[in-house]
Amino acid sequence: MEGCPRNREIGPKLLDLIPQGRKWYQEDKNNTDQEKKLELRLGPPGGDEEDHSAIKKKNTEIRNIKKETEDKSFHCFNGNHFSPSNKTTSVPHISQKRTAPGPVVGWPPVRSFRKNLASTSSSKLGNESSHGGQINKSDDGEKQVETKKEGMFVKINMDGVPIGRKVDLNAYNSYEQLSFVVDKLFRGLLAAQRDISDGQGEEKSIIGLLDGKGEFTLTYEDNEGDKMLVGDVPWQMFVSSVKRLRVIKSSEISSALTFGCSKQEKMMH
């Protein structure tokens, strides 16, 4: 593989993107500028003297808006794209340490019926060579009746944040886990929004989603269209009836839940 130049400079200056004779696209020295114009950005324009790795990271960040990735690089949206003081460095991804990333849609690319092998009875066996033939027969008295567990992605929006996300409810077992995930999903986004609007820009945890004590409260819309507070019913019942989630300002609970809601009494905590 020798002889392949690693061109890491900005801008493919020498490259001709089109075969001779075709003019699909005006190729000129300002190619990179045009490419950059097409890139989506959040945050202040200009001042882009980064190298390719940073551009890639920027692109990653842009994409990350729409995904449930928990890359810490995400938190760079604080008006200062590549400040080294952030949780990740601006060195290319090799040294990026991801701590417990959340699920990305469709990754790894394994079909849904292959995903929950750990929860079928065979998971209790196997990989323990000490067991040999001595498998306890007392486990599943009944055959586990699972339906194929697909990722159950529901949309979640947050007041004050224009970008919606999605959460896979099948990945969690409790309201606490869900609350934790909501915090992770929106903390950065919320801070970015606040930074844009009033220059605060620091991140605060989103807490108290379930008890009404925090600044925000988690609500949901069920399959009958009713809007309810999250946390009242057993988890499985919640998962089976929820259609979408919304994080609202706690101060607006009563008005947010009034419309189309016939279960107002549930709201009184």
Partner 1 sequence: MTEEDSSAKMSEDVERYLKLNPPCSSSSSSSAVAFANKSGTFKSSSPPCPEHVLENVLESVLQFLTSRCDRNAVSLVCKSWYRVEAQTRFEVFIGNCYSLSPARLTHRFKGLRSIVLKGKPRFADFNLMPPNWGAQFAPWVVATAKAYPWLEKVHLKRMFVTDDDLALLADSFPGFKELTLVCCEGFGTSGIAVVANKCRQLKVLDLVESEVTDDEVDWISCFPEGESPLESLSFDCVESPINFNALEGLVVRSPFLKKLRTNRFVSLEELHRLMVRAPQLTSLGTGSFSPDNAPQGEQLPDYAAAFLACKSIVCLSGFREFRPEYLLAISPVCANLTSLNFSYANISPHMLNPIIRNCHNIRVFWALDSIRDEGLQAVAATCKELRELRIFPFDPREDSEGPVSGVGLQAISEGCRKLESILYFCQRMTNEAVTAMSENCPQLTVFRLCIMGRHRPDHVTGKPMDDGFGAIVKNCKKLTRLAVSGLLTDEAFSYIGEYGKLIRTLSVAFAGNSDKALRYVLEGCPKLQKLEIRDSPFGDAGLRSGMHRYCNMRFVWLSSCVLSLGGCRDVAQALPNVVVEVFGSDGDDDDDTVTGDYVETLYLYRSLDGPRKDAPKFVTIL
Of 4 and 268, which CB lies nearer to partner 1 in the complex structure?
Answer: 4
Q: Per rule CB under 8 A, is residue 148 in the interface with partner 1?
A: yes
Q: Per rule CB under 8 A, is residue 56 in the interface with partner 1?
A: yes
Of 52 and 204, which CB lies nearer to partner 1 in the complex structure?
Answer: 52
Q: Shortest gap between Cβ of 72 and partner 1 (angstroms)? A: 13
Among residues 61, 92, 59, which one has the least CA distance to residue 78? 61
Of 54 and 233, which CB lies nearer to partner 1 in the complex structure?
Answer: 54
Window 214-233: residues binding partner 1 (CB under 8 A): none
What is residue 263's DSSP assignment?
-
Q: Per rule CB under 8 A, is residue 163 in the interface with partner 1?
A: yes
Q: Per rule CB under 8 A, is residue 35 in the interface with partner 1?
A: yes
- Among the residue ranges 32-40, 187-195, 208-216, 254-262, the one whose residues contact partner 1 (CB under 8 A): 32-40
Q: Which of 28, 85, 137, 174 binds partner 1 (CB under 8 A)?
A: 137
Question: How far from chain centre, in Å, is Cα 241?
Answer: 22
Distance CA 162, CA 29 (A): 36
Q: Per rule CB under 8 A, is residue 140 in the interface with partner 1?
A: yes
Q: Per rule CB under 8 A, is residue 30 in the interface with partner 1?
A: no
Q: Per rule CB under 8 A, is residue 1 in the interface with partner 1?
A: yes
Site pattern 97..136 for partner 1 (x: CB under 8 A) = -x-xx-xxxxxxxxxxxxx-xx-xxxx-xxxxx-xxx-x-
Q: What string of DSSP letters covers 239-259?
A: HHHEEEEEEEEGGGHHHHHHT
Q: Please give the size of the binding site for partner 1, defined by CB under 8 A.
A: 78
CA atoms lying within 13 Å on the CB side of residue 99: 4
Q: Which two tokens stand for residue 268?
A: 């009184």
Window 57-96: residues binding partner 1 (CB under 8 A): 59-60, 62-63, 65-67, 93-94, 96
Q: Shortest gap between Cβ of 222 and partner 1 (angstroms)? A: 17
CB 34 within 8 A of CB 61: no
**Longest CA–CA separation in the chain, Å:** 75
Pairing mode of beta strands 242-249, 161-168: unpaired
Task: Give 156's contacts (C-beta < 8 A, 6+ positions apart).
Answer: 164, 165, 166, 167, 182, 185, 244, 245, 246, 247
